[in-house]
A and B are shown apart, each in its own frame.
Chain A
Amino acid sequence: MQSDLWLASAVNGLVLGGLYAATALGLSMVFGVMRLVNVAHGELIILASYLSWTLYTRAGIDPFVGLVVVVPVLFAAGWAIQRFMLNPLMAQGMEAPMLTTFGLSIIAQSLYLFAWTPDSRSIKTWYSDNVVTVASIAVPNMFVIALLAAALLAGALHLFVTRTLAGKAVRAASQSARTAAMMGVDIPRVYALTYGIGAALAAVGGVLVAATFTFVPSSGLAYLLKGFAVVVLGGMGSIGGTLLAGMALGLAESLGAAAFGTGYKDLVGLLLFLLVLTLRPAGIFGRRQAGGSLV
């Protein structure tokens, strides 16, 4: 294959990785703080995609302007899920809340089917299907926007957990919920805030998905699985790690597709995933510790 095709694949893969990171940040946040595998994360992403699509098709609201509505709605939904459904179960270990999120994901898919039909949806704006060309390498606009969004989100999240009081409470809860509680941190409240933030991050990911690809009620699973790979690669709860792992996964998949064909790109990504798990079980940027590492 020509070298410019390799280069184009590498650049596109790296940039596409931004989208993977954007859709995985919320999952990483929830796992990092609560050690909860949020199986409904993919459905939160797709809910945001549908809300954004509805605003765009019904009211002509640009998907990024629509974030003003979609992000608070998802935050509120996430907060309520944690506050009223998951918090009462947290004392029984992580299995019960995880199974609850599994149930939620199935219910959500059925609701989406009912509300939005099984038809394929997509948001097509004036800017979404163009490219940015740098040194003769064309990269879709949306991939670049997704990477910028992921970097912004990761930066904002880092500032939140390191510079704000609420963020410090979240970080304390991620390191040891029991100790944090003894220090006066309201753990159920922190958990509800964390899940709400996770859902809000999923909202941004969902809008990016809607404007970049297509989606149907069952599309969430693919983003959940990709998100898991990114979170594990990056290190559970590592914000910067999630961003870099997304890019690494995008790069590996893209080069894998260039070398072996698109049919094998997921295989290459999964091989990277297994390799990292074997060599660094805590992930590339994870820390070997019992508690979370939300930084």
Chain B
Amino acid sequence: MNIGRAACTLLLLLLPFGCRSGPGGSTAPDAIPIGASITVTGGSASFGGYARYGITRAIAAANAAGGVFVRQYDRKLPVRLVLYDNESKAEKAAADVERLILRDKVVAVTGLTGPERVLSGAEVCERYRVPMVTAGAPLGTVRKARRWKYLWDIFFDEAELCRKQFLLMDTVVSNRNVVLFTDNGPDGTVQGGYWEQYAPQFGYRILYRASFPGGTTDYGDMIRKAQATGADILLAQIQPPDGIALVRQMEALNWKPKAAFLERACEAADFWEALGCSAQGICFTTIWHPECGYPGAKELAQAFHKETGRSYTTHLVGAYAAVQVLLKAIELAGVLDAEAINRAVRAAAAAQPTVLGDIRFAEDQTAAQATMVLQWQDGERQIVYPKEIATRAFLYPLPAWADLRK
């Protein structure tokens, strides 16, 4: 055997080993495929813009650092995002997730917001045993639906939200009478139930509850009935455009309770932009504020504002945090196997602080983040409760409409 033939034989024998990229022995893919279904269009499109930015920025940050280390291949792999628009529809969200899993072969899903979309997408994930990490649905709604094995939800606990509102109201003098306005979607139904459950426990009386479909434009009848009760407190679960219409009609019909909490409707800056000083003093409960001091969060909000001209919401930070957890889970799993990644999610959340603070999943795979009450004051969202982290004093009672017009 001459040297040339011996070299060729050796090369052929070594060739299969040369193709291996790591100790596991399989070929490394070009990238780690992650799927997202977000609300780019449709009624909840305003949330989608935040989610899209949060997800893409988190993935860009990971890729800028060389990608995610995957032990199976003994090297870092870039992350590839496959993103679909679910048009704010639950059935489209489910179809998107199925397509992501079956056609795009993603190893995990994220980005869904709104309980109806999260739940329908999560059902698909359960069927195909692919993890979904999201910060998009109130936890009570998620827990109520079923016991999940592949859905990991990071959000606020509705019961805790109620508690914080009533504790805040305990710091001021009111007639302790409450009016509830809840839309008849999953958010409104579940949240309304919690308010009805918790109000008596804190010594508050619900004098009137109105339920209405999302997209309602005329609230005159509800307002007149609420006005007739003489209640000092309005608690509402209502979507953004409807919440703005509600406040305008409250102003037109000159109904001003002493405190108003408009959950979901007034978190984004467009609430103040649409209403101006009529939004002064209106409260909502959330899990994030730039002053919370979570690592990277303030910078994320600033970058978002600089690039888009829009102001932050929790959806921006939540989407980013969900991806942080997901990528860490892939790293901890060490393989691109959906089951293994799913098993690593809990540990991944505990292994690092996120832009949404520390995330700890409970046994039921929900992570309840600390809630705080924010209030619109002079065009800014200020923390007014708990007092330890408050950025402004609670403005109470709400200023009269006539005073706001001056």
Residues of A within 8 A of B271 (CB): 120
Q: Flag if B274 contacts A120 (CB, 8 Å).
A: yes
B252 is contacted by which of A117, A131, A214, A217 (Cβ under 8 Å)?
Answer: A131
> Known contacts being A122-B248, A219-B241, A263-B212, is A257 close to B221, with CB within 8 Å?
yes
Shortest CB distance B196–A (Å): 16
Q: Mark A1-20, 1 if CB is under 8 A from B, else 0.
A: 11001001100100010000
Q: Which residue of B211, B244, B276 is within 8 Å of A261 (Cβ)?
A: B211
A contact residues, range: 35 or more
Given contacts A117-B49, A129-B251, A261-B211, contact A110 B41 (CB under 8 A): yes
B357 nearest CB across to chain A (Å): 27
A76 within 8 A of B: no
B274 touches A214 (CB 8 A): yes
Q: Which A residues form the contact surface with B (CB < 8 A)? A: 1-2, 5, 8-9, 12, 16, 109-110, 113, 117-122, 124, 126, 128-131, 138, 140-142, 212-219, 222, 253-254, 257-258, 261-263, 265-266
- In addition to A263-B184, A265-B216, 12 A-B residue pairs with Cβ atoms within 8 Å of each other are A9-B220, A9-B221, A110-B41, A120-B271, A128-B252, A129-B401, A140-B253, A216-B45, A257-B218, A258-B221, A261-B212, A262-B221
Cα A155 to Cα B107 in complex, Å, equals: 63
Interface flag for B273 (CB, 8 Å): yes
- CB-nearest residue of chain A to B221: A257
Tell me the bound Cα distance from A257 to B224 in angstroms: 11
> Do residues A262 and B41 form an inter-chain contact, with CB atoms below 8 A?
no
Complex CA distance for A217 and B213, rounded to whole angstroms: 19
A217 partner residues in chain B, CB cutoff 8 A? 41, 45
**Cα–Cα, bound, A5→B225 (Å):** 8
Is the CB–CB distance between A216 and B46 below 8 Å?
A: yes
Contacts of A218 in B (CB 8 A): 41-43, 45, 88
CB distance from B259 to the nearest CB of A (A): 20
Q: Separation in Å of the B308 CB from the closest CB of chain A?
A: 9
B268 on the A face (CB < 8 A): yes
**What separation, in Å, do the CA atoms of A122 and B228 have in the docked complex?**
28
Cross-chain contact A213 with B245 (CB below 8 angstroms): yes
Q: A5-B228, A218-B45 are in contact. Are A140 and B252 (CB under 8 A)?
A: yes
Could you tell me if B216 and A262 are in contact, using CB atoms closer than 8 angstroms? Answer: yes
A214 and B41 within 8 A (CB)? no
Q: Is B84 an interface residue, CB under 8 A from the partner?
A: no
Chain B contacts of A142 at CB under 8 A?
252
Residues of chain B with a CB closer than 8 A to A262's CB: 210-212, 216, 219, 221-222
Cα A214 to Cα B273 in complex, Å, equals 12
Question: A-facing mask of B22-59, CB < 8 A → 1, else 0?
Answer: 00000000000000000011110110110000000000
Most chain B beta-carbon contacts within 10 A, residue among A8, A120, A140, A217: A120
19 of the cross-chain contacts (CB-CB < 8 Å) are A1-B225, A109-B41, A113-B45, A117-B46, A117-B49, A118-B48, A120-B240, A120-B271, A121-B274, A124-B278, A129-B248, A129-B401, A140-B220, A140-B249, A212-B248, A214-B274, A216-B43, A261-B211, A263-B211
Q: A residues within 8 A CB of B242?
A: 214
Interface string of B317-348 (1 = CB under 8 A from A): 00000000000000000000000000000000
Q: Give bound CA distance, A126 to B252, whole Å.
A: 11
Once A122-B248, A214-B245, A262-B211 are accepted as A-B contacts, the answer to whether A113 and B41 lie under 8 Å apart by CB is: yes
Alpha-carbon gap, A208 to B69, bound state (A) = 57
Closest to B277 in A: A124
A104 to chain B, nearest CB (A): 16
B225: A residues at CB distance < 8 A: 1, 5
Q: How far is the CB of A1 from chain B (nearest CB, A)?
A: 8
Q: In the complex the two chains form, what is the Cα distance from A120 to B244 in whole Å?
A: 8
Q: How far apart are B61's CB and chain A's nearest CB, in angstroms? A: 24
Among B45, B228, B241, the most chain A Cβ lie within 10 Å of the Cβ of B241
A117 contacts B310, CB within 8 Å? yes
> Is the CB–CB distance between A254 and B220 below 8 Å?
yes
CA of A218 to CA of B43, assembled, Å: 6
B270 at the interface (CB under 8 A from A): yes
Q: Decide yes or no whether B215 CB sits under 8 A from chain A.
A: yes
Residue B217 interfacial (CB < 8 Å): yes
Is B21 close to A, CB under 8 A?
no
A131 to B213 alpha-carbon distance, docked (Å): 25
Whole-angstrom distance between the Cβ of A131 and the nearest chain B Cβ: 5
B275 at the interface (CB under 8 A from A): yes
Which A residues lie within 8 Å of B268 (CB)?
119
B352 at the binding interface (Cβ < 8 Å): no
Interface residue B175 (Cβ < 8 Å from any Cβ of A): no
Distance in Å: Cβ of A15 to nearest Cβ of chain B? 10
Chain A contacts for B201, CB-based, 8 A: none
Interface set, chain B 270-289, CB cutoff 8 A to A: 270-271, 273-276, 278
Contacts of B197 in A (CB 8 A): none
Residues of B within 8 A of A129 (CB): 248, 251-252, 278, 401
- Which chain B residues border A213 with CB–CB below 8 Å? 217, 245, 248
Chain A positions within 8 Å of B210 at CB level: 261-263
- Tell me whether B213 and A263 are in contact (CB under 8 A): yes
Tell me the bound Cα distance from A222 to B213 in angstroms.
Answer: 12
CA distance A216 to B210 in the complex (A): 24
Whether the pair B241, A120 counts as a contact (CB closer than 8 A) is yes
